[in-house]
């Protein structure tokens, strides 16, 4: 039986969508294929156009529940040309050529904005306790790129032993009550969210806050409540949004808890930054919160509330995607047991020359390849590199993107394209390792579209999961480290299996392919350690 809150949410969504269909204005119905849309509008009566508009809006409803499938069908029919997918809120123009992908990645944020997409998706003014974003990058959150791309990445070796220890401890705590056969049964997605939250809290907020149960619970709840509330708010009339947001977030319970815990810490750290003499007797904390404070504007300093808003906004992006990818990764280990032996052997060889906690994860090509293949096959989002048109925009090939519409890359469809990947619907865990070996030898590889060796953290037109250009995910090296350490711990200490290998693993909402909360995995402590203890 569905929870009453979910039933209410769906009912509200349906009502508000119908209202918006009736009161909103023009909907472009054909991909900006030159000026054909405007010609059609000119030739139609007002009544006929409204019928045409409503028809396409309702057609877009299928995107809510079948988004990836809708995109893949349109991708197959487009034969490499830009194509349009209608959604209940706007149109998505999708491009696949290297030239057009490069154009949207390099376009001015005053024309094609990533931040405007995030603002539309998350409704931060209402879901993030009043914190507002601008449409253009540079006006908000200017410090996070340097904090994550440069400072966090340069400290990964320093953090690795602690991350390894946290993951090991979390797994042992989560799996501490085995049944009669020695296996502990868990719902894998909720468990991965808890583990990723614990790790991220330590890196982001420091050890003190990461040990507080109330804080970590709020840190876990916050992204989930934001996503739930934002989906309802996207189709809620503006005059009702504050009320609906309060109801959907439990009166902003998680955000208020985060603010309450962060406020004294942020105030103290900002005061020390403003007065360096206060730091003489103690070293600066080594965590993302400190780096975000250090990279915030000095000329016109932010208030503590603004600083906390920035920190929480960045925090939002650190849990959701990483926990989904980790979930699918563990499930794929269970589904493809033939890869366990070679992966463990690769680890044994490297652990022989270093401790497991300090192993160089970049020297594990089979593990890197397995994770890439898991992502390629499952791909938790059907699109990437979203940009919202803040003005009417014409791409170099003449494709028109109307103001308010999005332009995106259909990454899931591209990764299932037989013209790009051999046997795209088969799981081949070492395809990327073989391809890299061939490319390093100066040969061509028909298995992948790459022309040069690539890794999990590569961000290019053939692997756009991290985004492209200067907007590519600055935390991808950290995400790669966490994913690999999770797999290392599972391979080292646990055997795992899916009790229902043929059961559904995911559910779809818009372009997202989200792991099911009820998927169970069985874990049992290995009788003999496969790797030396760290």
**Which among 143, 166, 163, 167 has a CA at the least distance from the CA of 155?**
163
- Which residues on adjacent β-strands are paired with residue 179? none
| Cα 202–chain centre separation | 19
To the question of whether residue 473 is assigned a binding role by annotation, the answer is: yes
Between strands 184-187 and 91-94, the pairing is unpaired
CA distances, 336 to each of 57, 164, 343, 390, 529 (Å): 41, 24, 12, 45, 21
Short-list 199, 175, 373, 379, CA closest to 288: 199
Specify the DSSP class assigned to residue 27: -
Cα(340)–Cα(262) distance, integer angstroms? 42
Nearest to 511 by CA among 25, 202, 223, 90: 90
34 conformational bin, left if phi > 0, alpha if psi -120 to 50, beta if neither: left
What string of DSSP letters covers 358-374? G--GGG-HHHHHHHHHH
How buried is 302 (Cβ within 10 angstroms: 0-12 exposed, 13-18 middle, 19+ buried)? middle
- How far apart are alpha carbons 12 and 10 in whole angstroms? 5
Compute the distance between CA of residue 79 and CA of residue 58 in angstroms, rounded to an integer: 26
Buried b (16+ CB within 10 A) or exposed e, 420-451: bbeeeeebbbbbbbebbebbeeeeebebbbbe
Written as six digits, the tokens of 503 are 């059961």
* Cα–Cα distance, 107 to 482 (Å, whole number): 32
* Run of H or E residues at 431: helix 431-440
What is the C-alpha to C-alpha distance for residues 144 and 307, in angstroms, rounded to an integer?
Answer: 11
Using a CB cutoff of 8 Å and minimum separation of 24, what contacts does 391-397 make? 391/110, 391/111, 393/107, 393/111, 393/112, 394/32, 395/32, 395/82, 395/95, 395/100, 395/103, 395/104, 396/99, 396/100, 396/103, 397/82, 397/97, 397/99, 397/100
> Which of these, 500, 502, 504, lies nearest to 522 by C-alpha position?
500
Tell me how far apart the alpha carbons of residues 426 and 414 are, in angstroms, rounded to a whole number: 15
CA distance 328 to 334: 10
Q: Provide CB contacts within 8 A for 440, sequence distance 6+.
A: 453
Residue ranges of the binding site = 473
Residue ranges of the binding site for heme = 473
């Amino acid at each position: 039986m569905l929870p009453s809150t979910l039933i209410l949410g769906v009912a509200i969504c349906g009502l508000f969508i119908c209202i918006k269909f009736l009161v909103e204005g023009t909907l472009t119905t054909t991909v900006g294929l030159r000026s054909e849309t405007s010609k059609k509008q000119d030739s139609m009566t007002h009544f006929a156009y409204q019928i045409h508009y409503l028809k396409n809006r309702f057609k877009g409803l299928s995107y809510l529940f079948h988004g990836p499938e809708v995109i893949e069908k349109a991708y197959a029919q487009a034969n490499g040309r830009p194509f349009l997918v209608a959604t209940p809120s706007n149109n998505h123009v999708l491009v696949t050529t290297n030239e057009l992908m490069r154009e949207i990645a390099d376009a001015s944020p005053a024309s094609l904005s990533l931040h405007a997409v995030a603002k539309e998706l998350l409704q931060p003014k209402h879901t993030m306790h009043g914190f507002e974003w601008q449409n253009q990058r540079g006006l908000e959150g200017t410090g996070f790129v340097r904090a994550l791309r440069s400072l966090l990445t340069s400290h990964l070796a320093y953090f690795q032993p602690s991350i390894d220890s946290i993951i090991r401890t979390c797994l042992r705590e989560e799996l501490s009550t085995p049944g009669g056969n020695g296996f502990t049964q868990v719902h894998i997605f909720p468990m991965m969210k808890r583990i990723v939250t614990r790790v991220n809290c330590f890196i982001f907020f420091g050890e003190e806050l990461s040990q507080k149960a109330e804080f970590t619970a709020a840190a876990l709840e916050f992204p989930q409540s934001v996503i739930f509330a934002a989906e309802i708010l996207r189709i809620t009339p503006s005059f009702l949004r504050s009320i609906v947001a309060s109801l959907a977030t439990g009166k902003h319970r998680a955000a208020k808890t985060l603010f309450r815990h962060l406020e004294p810490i942020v105030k103290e750290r900002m005061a020390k930054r403003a007065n360096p003499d206060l730091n003489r007797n103690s070293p600066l904390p080594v965590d993302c919160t400190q780096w975000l404070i250090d990279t915030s504007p000095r000329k016109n300093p932010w208030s503590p509330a603004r600083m906390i808003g920035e920190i929480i906004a960045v925090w939002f992006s650190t849990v959701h995607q990483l926990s989904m990818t980790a979930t699918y990764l563990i499930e794929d280990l269970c589904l493809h047991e033939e890869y366990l032996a070679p992966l463990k052997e690769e680890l044994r060889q490297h652990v022989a020359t270093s401790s497991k906690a300090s192993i160089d994860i970049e020297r594990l090509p089979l593990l890197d390849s397995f994770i890439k293949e898991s992502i390629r096959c499952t791909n938790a989002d059907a699109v990437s590199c979203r940009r919202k048109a803040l003005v009417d925009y014409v791409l170099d090939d003449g494709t028109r993107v109307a103001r308010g519409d999005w332009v995106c890359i259909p990454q899931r469809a591209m990764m299932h394209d037989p013209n790009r990947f051999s046997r795209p619907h088969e799981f081949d865990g070492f395809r990327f390792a073989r391809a890299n070996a061939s490319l390093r030898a100066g040969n061509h590889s028909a298995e992948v579209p790459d022309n040069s060796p690539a890794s999990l953290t590569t961000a290019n037109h053939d692997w756009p999961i991290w985004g492209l250009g200067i907007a590519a995910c600055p935390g991808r090296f950290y995400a790669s480290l966490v994913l690999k350490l999770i797999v290392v711990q599972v391979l080292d200490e646990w055997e795992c299996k899916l009790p229902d290998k043929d059961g559904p693993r995911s559910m779809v909402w818009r372009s997202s392919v989200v792991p099911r909360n009820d998927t169970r995995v069985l874990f049992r402590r290995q009788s003999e350690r496969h790797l030396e203890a760290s």
